[in-house]
């Protein structure tokens, strides 16, 4: 069976919501929420705030879709992204609906990584990354990773300095991500310290 | 958007590193919103990036705060420290200041192995009501905010002691503690290591020549 394209799925979901099908709203949230929270977290650098804004985003999106305000249903994902970004903008402009929020509350809600378990998780992430970097066989690969991710140097410049072609560069990044994935999964599955 | 394009153009890395224009980022966000595979890669890359940032900021292993044995008998603190405990001890030094948190009172988070207890420094002696620590499987961390705008609170180093009963000598102490960039001190009491009982704690500032200035004292009740 051919998999439906994103545009087809979006059109179908919108049509069903317009038809009053509550299950379609649930499907929509299930389909896009993970991405929405990731996007908001990436932009806000605060997971708790991202979760909070995602809730508000869904309230607005559902209301608008039900009201037929979405002109091009195939662009549902873009519409959700834009609505989420608007919520974030309102936070930064201080005009979010939670007018009763005090300055202290706002500062706390914008404080990144305010939960100890998140701090521990990040610490463990650092240990795993340290292991990953230490495992890299060649100093050149280590240099590539650090220059690209940390110093944020251009790919072309790094390739030129290290005498690599782009294909090799891509492979090193890909391998690093895959190995990191493996180490991370081992850590999660073990439920223990890295 | 094809998977090959993700790799060729390093879209994931460029997004995580915030190297995209706003227009590019929005287009990419609309793409990954429902793409679980891409989200997997993004989450992985973000975690990798965070880890690299952290080891770049703290490239070497950071030593633990110095723990001094004072009492002669074998005590709970002589037990081997598990990696979890070590992690909490070190995270203050390894983490950027933005990751640090403020505690307003005792906080025990669900699904967390950590219980954070705040020591308010608003008054010198806080012994009217003892701080209660329940012994369970959680790791206990004391936190204190040091207002360095108050010159009498500003020291290059800080120390912490626990004494039991009427004993003059502390049974446990930490020295050479430094403030985080946010003016916080964190004291890791480990996980389930404190014997039940009542302790007196002293938090003090350290100047050159070992001079100690008491900043806070109080009682800590450890219950089963």
The secondary structure of A60-76 as a DSSP string is HHHHHHHTT--S-GGGH
What confidence score (pLDDT) does residue A115 get? 60
Which chain B residue's Cα is nearest to A10?
B34
User: Look-up: residue for tokens 């180490």?
Assistant: A183
**Nearest one of B108, B103, B163, B94 to B140, comparing CA atoms:** B108
A181 interface with B at CB cutoff 8 Å: yes
- Contact (CB<8Å) A126/B98: no
| Residue A109 burial (CB count, 10 A) | 17
Coil, strand, or helix at residue A168?
helix
Coil, strand, or helix at residue B108?
strand
Percentage, residues of chain A above pLDDT 90: 39
Tokens of B182: 């946010």
CB-based contacts of B166, cutoff 8 Å, min separation 6? none
Top pLDDT among A1 and B130 is at: B130
**Is residue A79 pLDDT above 60, yes or no?**
yes
Q: How far apart are CA A71 and CA A193, in angstroms?
A: 50
* Among A29, A106, A109, A129, the residue to mutate for chain B (most B Cβ within 10 A): A129
Mean per-residue pLDDT of chain A:
81
Model confidence at B213, in pLDDT bands (50, 70, 90)?
Answer: confident
Mean per-residue pLDDT of chain B:
68
**Nearest one of A139, A148, A146, A150 to A166, comparing CA atoms:** A148
Which chain A residue's Cα is nearest to B33?
A35
Top pLDDT among B175 and B78 is at: B175
How far is residue B171 CA from its own chain's centroid? 22
- Sheet hosting strand B131-134, strand order edge to edge: B66-68, B172-177, B157-164, B197-206, B212-223, B131-134
| Residue B134 burial (CB count, 10 A) | 14
Structural element, H or E, at residue A162: helix A155-162
What confidence score (pLDDT) does residue A151 get? 82
Give the distance from residue A73's alpha carbon to the nearest chain B alpha carbon, in angstroms.
13
**Nearest one of B36, B32, B6, B37 to A39, comparing CA atoms:** B32
- Contact (CB<8Å) A133/B55: yes
Which chain A residue's Cα is nearest to B32?
A35
**Is residue B209 pLDDT above 70, yes or no?**
no
Render the burial of B10-30: b for 16+ CB within 10 Å, e for the rest. Answer: bbbbbbbbeebeeeebbebbb
- Contact (CB<8Å) A120/B58: no
Q: Which residues pair with B200 in a beta bridge?
A: B163, B219
Q: How far apart are CA B94 and CA B87, in angstroms?
A: 10
CB-based contacts of B169, cutoff 8 Å, min separation 6? B70, B71, B163
Top pLDDT among B155 and B60 is at: B155
ipTM of the assembly? 0.78
Q: In angstroms, what CA-CA distances link B43 with A42, B32, B216?
A: 10, 11, 43
User: β-strand B212-223 against B131-134: which pairing, if any?
Assistant: parallel
**Is residue A99 pLDDT above 50, yes or no?**
no
**Is residue B172 pLDDT above 60, yes or no?**
yes
Q: Are B101 and B194 in contact (CB under 8 A)?
A: no
CB-based burial of residue B221 (10 Å sphere; 0-12 exposed, 13-18 middle, 19+ buried)? middle
Model confidence at A1, in pLDDT bands (50, 70, 90)?
Answer: very low
**Is residue B214 pLDDT above 60, yes or no?**
yes
Task: Summarize the confidence of residues B78-92 as an average pLDDT.
Answer: 38
What confidence score (pLDDT) does residue A31 get? 95
């Amino acid at each position: 069976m051919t998999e439906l394209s994103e545009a087809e799925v979006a059109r179908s979901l919108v049509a069903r919501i317009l038809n009053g099908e509550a299950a379609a709203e649930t499907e929509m949230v299930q389909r896009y929420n993970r991405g929405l929270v990731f996007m908001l977290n990436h932009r806000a650098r605060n997971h708790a705030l991202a979760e909070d804004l995602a809730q508000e985003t869904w309230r607005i999106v559902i209301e608008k879709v039900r009201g037929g305000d979405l002109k091009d249903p195939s662009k549902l994902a873009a519409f959700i992204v834009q609505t989420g970004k608007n919520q974030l903008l309102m936070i930064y402009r201080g005009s979010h609906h939670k007018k009763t929020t005090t300055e202290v509350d706002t500062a706390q809600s914008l404080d990144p990584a305010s939960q100890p378990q998140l701090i521990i998780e990040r610490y463990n992430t650092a240990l795993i990354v340290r292991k990953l970097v230490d495992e890299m066989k060649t100093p050149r690969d280590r240099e590539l990773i650090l220059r690209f991710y940390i110093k944020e140097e251009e790919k072309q410049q790094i390739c030129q300095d290290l005498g690599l072609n782009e294909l090799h560069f891509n492979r090193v990044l890909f391998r690093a991500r895959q190995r990191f994935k493996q180490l991370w999964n081992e850590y999660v599955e073990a439920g223990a310290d890295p | 958007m094809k998977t090959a394009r993700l790799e060729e153009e390093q879209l994931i890395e460029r997004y995580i590193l915030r190297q995209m224009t706003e227009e590019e980022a929005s287009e990419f966000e609309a793409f990954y919103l429902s793409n679980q595979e891409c989200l997997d890669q993004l989450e992985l890359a973000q975690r990798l990036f965070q880890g690299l940032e952290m080891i770049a900021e703290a490239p070497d292993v950071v030593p633990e705060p110095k723990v001094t044995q004072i009492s002669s008998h074998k005590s709970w603190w002589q037990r081997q420290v598990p990696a979890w405990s070590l992690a909490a001890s070190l995270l203050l030094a390894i983490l950027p200041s933005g990751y640090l948190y403020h505690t307003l009172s005792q906080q025990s988070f669900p699904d967390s192995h950590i219980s954070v207890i705040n020591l308010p420094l608003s008054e010198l002696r806080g012994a009217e009501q003892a701080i209660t620590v329940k012994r369970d499987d959680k790791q206990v961390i004391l936190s204190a905010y040091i207002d360095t705008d108050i010159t009498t609170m500003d020291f290059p180093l800080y120390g912490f002691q626990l004494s039991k009963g009427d004993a003059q000598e502390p049974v446990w102490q930490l020295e050479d503690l430094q403030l985080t960039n946010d003016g916080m001190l964190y004291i890791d009491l480990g996980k389930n290591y404190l014997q039940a009982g009542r302790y007196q704690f002293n938090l003090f500032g350290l100047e050159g020549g070992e001079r100690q200035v008491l900043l806070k004292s109080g009682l800590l009740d450890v219950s089963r």
